Amino acid sequence: MRRSRGCLVAGSAALVMLFLLSAGQEAGSASDSQSRTLRASQGRPAHVKALKSYSRPTPRHAASPEGILLQDLKSGRILYENHADQPMAPASLTKIMSAIVILEEGNLEDQVTVSRRAAAAHKIKLHLKAGQLVPLRGLLQAMLIRSANDACLAAVEHVAGDEESFVAKMNAKASALGLTRTHFQNACGFDMPDHYSTAADLAALTTYAMGKETFAAIVREPAAVIQTADQRKRFIARTTNRLLGAMEGVVGVKTGYTREAGRCLIAVVTREDKELLLVLLNAHQRWGRAQELIELGLQSFEERSGAPSEEATGATATGSSHGERLSPPLDPGVELHGDIPAGEENHHGSSFVIQPGEGG
């Protein structure tokens, strides 16, 4: 009897639960309907759409033009240009100006205490630690050879007290050099709305920088060893410039990369009595483009001396106020094969690999 009463009570409880659940679903359905109506009235989707697979948006630089300038440094003659006066993001090519200010206003024998802010800089970096004491010369080597942002920030803070004051010096120098389409917002090359330069301005800046013996000596080195003042820590800064050691006559200068700027490069080549300067901004095939343009520029010297036919060089010339300019048959599929294996462009020492979007 007791068992039958228990079963009856349990059954009644189950019926009550079913009724409450049913009522709750109806209320929830009505609430959802009201919520959807409200969202629709606010301009939002009135119903839930099926999830779409995530696709990474195309970086803005992919659809942007390449900025190119190829120059005979001895005569100043422009051999080829493309959007050379269009302001574009310069990425770590910015560090060329930073290096100039450091050389002109700093003492390379100074010992620099790495700040917390510098140690926390975004990659590419040496992985300096806050409080470490590093020679300013070593920091300059790291920022030019390795494009290390922690070294860059530590150096500029030491020279000017803070990055903002240092950037003011950079812009003053740009004005003094007549770089009218250049403006900096940071010292290391990160993307910012008012941070830009042009291939033409960067060519003029590099020509000025290469006139400084210390700068020219640093940028031609494939690697440098930087030690802390107490000799307890050693960093190896390996170049990001794959042309060094892979292409005859290359003596620098600097690479750069951000998502906004794309792949950038400034190269100086000397062969016999020839000297070329190449600036590439947002290069779609950086190393192949560079190799092809440099070889084309060197051929232009032979054209002036031996005057081979256009068929022999694959180039045409167009008239301009700068004299004849080459119109190269650029092949975006050409790649440079050299001493540094593909994929090791961003290799730091023997243990760090740079991921996309980290600079250099």
Give yes or no: 147 in active site.
Answer: yes
Q: Are 153 and 163 in contact (CB under 8 A)?
A: yes
Q: Hey, what are 304's tokens? A: 């002036």
How many DSSP H helices and E strands does the chain contain? 10, 13
Asked whether the CA dihedral 108, 113, 115, 119 is positive or negative, the reply is positive
Give yes or no: 95 in active site.
Answer: yes
State the catalytic residue, choosing from 64, 92, 197, 300: 92
At how many degrees (to 10) do helices 149-160 and 163-176 cross?
80
Q: Where are the beta strands (DSSP E) in 22-63?
A: none
Name the one residue in this structure whose structure tokens are 């940028």.
Answer: 219
| Single-letter amino acid code for the residue at 253 | V
Q: Are 88 and 196 in contact (CB under 8 A)?
A: yes
d(CA 346, CA 256): 11
State the catalytic residue, choosing from 64, 98, 115, 147: 147
Give yes or no: 35 in active site.
Answer: no
Q: Are 166 and 160 in contact (CB under 8 A)?
A: yes
d(CA 108, CA 103): 7
Q: Are 112 and 127 in contact (CB under 8 A)?
A: no
State the catalytic residue, choosing from 95, 169, 173, 254: 95
Q: Hey, what are 80's tokens? A: 């080829």
Q: Where are the beta strands (DSSP E) in 86-158?
A: 111-113, 133-135
Dihedral over alpha carbons 68, 152, 214, 131 (to 10 degrees): -170
Q: Where are the beta strands (DSSP E) in 37-85?
A: 67-72, 78-82
192, 243, 293, 308, 333 from 305: Cα distances, Å? 46, 27, 19, 9, 30
The b-or-e profile of 209-233 (16+ CB within 10 A means b, else e) is bbeeeebeebbbbeebebebeeeeb
Q: Are 348 and 239 in contact (CB under 8 A)?
A: no
Q: Which has the closest alpha carbon to 290: 268, 270, 322?
A: 268
Active site residues: 92, 95, 147
